[in-house]
């Protein structure tokens, strides 16, 4: 059953999402009905561009259903446009690998990972993101850390990385769309930053916000989502030793398409929780609204832990496709990180 209500075409009104005229009761929704109504609604708004009509949400898109490798055929060769590795020059790369996160898994081919990205501010087409990031300016990059904390701070992403110290960790990464990769991130535990700013006792959640610059990323104008992209974690999730603030990948500063210059990586949750290109980290008392949750709460709830036993409303989450080899492998509960995080969710 199709359960998408908002598919990114609604006017933005003070962060309030209103159901569109075409909203149907769930019992009447079929894929075709949603598609046709969405077309009608877009036509009424005067949007007729094929790209817009075809554009998916993370959740409006089909899940991965075949083992086809998008990067099959000739292996891509890194070029300066495609990699965008040069946005930031910071000390500390490559960082020493933390032996606790040095599994003997085969890493995903970095050039494949750099050409298969979800970054909706640019496009909903994963294979085009790396070609659309040229106008995106990622330095200087002030990051504001505040809200319910004793010691708020605003500092540049490079300064922040230098202040916190960097390490490398190999993590599995699982997208809700059922593709996966194994990559070496460079960064520091979010926990260290939380301790530095000293949250007040009322702080129970951390809210993250991405940049909003319509002149630098085309989809802000083309896709009517409740921008900017926002995400959130419970404070205890933010404090878990696995939660990483990433500033690099494959031994170099993050290329733009991977979320330069600073992002979060939460490896036991679906990939959309790992918000990219963060400008603001805010400590709050109430569970924050996230972009995906506001678009489709039944499909992208706040918690979103990887769970092979709980299908997405429109596809199975039992397996995942590795983006470079095309191999389909079993998905693990908490993406294999249960020993670190299962206790956060055990009742009683
Ligand atoms: N962060 C922002 N700001 N915008 C996005 O569209 N997409 C998310 C997440 N973070 C996204 C984002 C999703 S759905 C995934 S799967 C991962 O980024 C993809 O990260 P990658 O492109 O580095 O593999």
d(CA 66, CA 321): 8
CB of 171 sitting under 6 A from ligand 1:
no
Ligand 1 centre to CA of 113 (Å) is 12
Question: What mean pLDDT do residues 315-319 have?
Answer: 98
At residue 255 the predicted structure's pLDDT band, cuts being 50, 70 and 90, is very high
> Ligand 1 centroid vs 44 CA: distance in angstroms?
31
Q: Is 122 in the pocket of ligand 1 (CB under 6 A)?
A: no
Distance CA 106, CA 42 (A): 45
pLDDT exceeding 70 applies to what percent of the chain? 74
pLDDT of res. 126: 97
Token pair for residue 37? Answer: 């109504």
Q: How many whole angstroms separate alpha carbon 139 and alpha carbon 261?
A: 8
We report the CATH number of the domain holding residue 96 as: 3.90.420.10
Q: How confident is the model at residue 192 (pLDDT cuts 50, 70, 90)?
A: very high
Domain tally for the chain? 1
Domain assignment present for residue 347? The answer is: no
Pocket lining: 275 vs ligand 1, CB cutoff 6 Å = yes
**What region does 245 belong to: left with phi over 0, alpha with psi -120 to 50, or beta?**
beta
Report the pLDDT value the prediction gives residue 348, as an integer from 0 to 100: 62
Q: What range defines the domain where residue 248 resides? A: 16-337
Residue 42, pLDDT score: 34
Tell whether 238 is covered by a domain. Answer: yes
Q: Among 259, 263, 264, 267, name the best residue to mutate to test ligand 1's pocket (greatest count of ligand atoms within 8 A of Cβ).
A: 259
How far, in Å, from the CA of 9 to the mean position of ligand 1?
A: 20
**N- to C-terminal Cα separation, the chain:** 34
- Closest-lying ligand 1 atom to the alpha carbon of residue 120: 6
Q: Is residue 11 part of a domain?
A: no
- Asked whether residue 269 is assigned to any structural domain, the reply reads yes
As a whole number of angstroms, the distance between CA 302 and CA 129 comes to 25
pLDDT at residue 58 in the model: 61
What is the tens place of the pLDDT at every residue in 239-251? Answer: 999 999 999 999 9
CA distance 65 to 87: 35
For residue 317, the model assigns a pLDDT of 98
Query: For residues 278 and 317, what is the distance between their CA atoms, to the nearest angstrom?
Result: 28
Which residues are bridge partners to 9 per DSSP? 224
pLDDT digits (tens, 9 = 90+) for 11-61: 333 333 333 222 222 222 222 232 333 333 333 333 333 333 333 456 445
- 121 CA from centroid of ligand 1 (Å): 10
Residue 348 lies in a domain: no
Q: Quick one: DSSP state of residue 100?
A: G
Whether the CB of 273 sits within 6 Å of ligand 1: no
The pLDDT of residue 225 is above 50: yes
User: Residue 300, Cβ neighbours under 10 Å: how many?
Assistant: 21
Measure the CA–CA gap between 70 and 76, rounded to whole angstroms: 11
Q: What percent of the chain has pLDDT over 90?
A: 73
Displacement of CA 259 from its chain's centroid (Å): 9
What is the structure's pLDDT at 90? 62
Q: What is the mean pLDDT of residues 184-195?
A: 98
pLDDT at 63: 57
59 lines ligand 1 (CB under 6 A): no
- Ligand 1 near 136 CB (within 6 A): no
Per DSSP, the three-state class of 241 is coil
Give the pLDDT score at 347: 79
Burial class (CB in 10 A: 0-12, 13-18, 19+), 101: middle
Q: Is residue 297 part of a domain?
A: yes
pLDDT digits (tens, 9 = 90+) for 116-175: 999 999 999 999 999 999 999 999 999 999 999 999 999 999 999 999 999 999 999 999
Cβ contacts of 149-157, under 8 Å, gap ≥ 24: 149/197, 149/198, 149/199, 149/200, 149/203, 149/283, 150/197, 150/198, 150/199, 150/200, 151/196, 151/197, 151/198, 152/197, 153/196, 153/197, 157/88, 157/247, 157/261, 157/262
* Confidence check: pLDDT of 99 > 90: yes
Q: What is the pTM of this model?
A: 0.81
The pLDDT, as a whole number, for residue 206 is 99
Q: Does some domain include residue 344?
A: no
Which is it for the CA torsion 324, 327, 328, 330, positive or negative?
negative
Any ligand 1 atom below 6 A from CB of 175: yes
Question: CB of 304 closer than 6 A to ligand 1?
Answer: no
Residues paired with 119 in a beta bridge = 123
Query: Does residue 106 belong to any structural domain of this protein?
Result: yes
């Amino acid at each position: 059953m199709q359960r998408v209500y908002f598919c990114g075409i609604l006017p933005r009104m003070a962060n309030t999402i209103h159901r569109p005229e075409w909203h149907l009761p769930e019992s009447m929704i079929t894929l075709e009905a949603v598609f046709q109504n969405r077309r009608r609604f877009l036509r009424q708004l005067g949007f007729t561009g094929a790209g817009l009509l075809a554009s998916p949400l993370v959740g409006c898109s089909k899940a991965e259903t075949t083992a086809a490798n998008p990067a099959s055929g000739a292996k891509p060769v890194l070029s300066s446009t495609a990699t965008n590795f040069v946005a930031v020059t910071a000390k500390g790369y490559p960082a020493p690998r933390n032996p606790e996160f040095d599994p003997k898994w085969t890493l995903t081919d970095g050039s494949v990972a750099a050409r298969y990205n979800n970054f909706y501010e640019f496009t909903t087409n994963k294979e085009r993101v790396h070609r659309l990031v040229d106008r995106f300016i990622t330095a200087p990059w002030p990051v504001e850390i505040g809200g319910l904390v004793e010691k708020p701070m605003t500092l540049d992403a490079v300064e922040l990385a230098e202040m916190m110290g960097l390490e490398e960790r190999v993590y599995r990464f699982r997208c809700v769309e059922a593709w996966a990769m194994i990559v070496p991130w460079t960064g520091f535990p979010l926990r260290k930053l939380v301790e530095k700013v000293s949250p007040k006792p009322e702080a129970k959640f951390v809210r993250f916000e991405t940049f909003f610059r319509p002149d630098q990323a085309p989809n802000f104008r083309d896709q009517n989502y409740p921008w900017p992209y926002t995400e959130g974690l419970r404070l205890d999730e933010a404090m878990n030793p696995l939660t990483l603030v990433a500033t690099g990948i494959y031994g170099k500063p993050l290329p733009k398409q991977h979320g330069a210059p600073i992002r979060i990586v939460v490896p036991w949750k679906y990939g959309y929780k790992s918000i990219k290109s963060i400008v603001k980290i805010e400590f709050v008392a109430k569970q924050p609204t996230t972009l995906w949750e506001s678009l489709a709460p039944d499909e992208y709830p706040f918690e979103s832990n990887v769970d092979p036993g709980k299908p997405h409303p429109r596809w199975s989450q039992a397996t995942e496709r590795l983006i470079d080899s095309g191999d389909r492998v079993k998905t693990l509960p908490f993406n294999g990180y249960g020993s670190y995080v299962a206790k956060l969710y055990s009742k009683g």
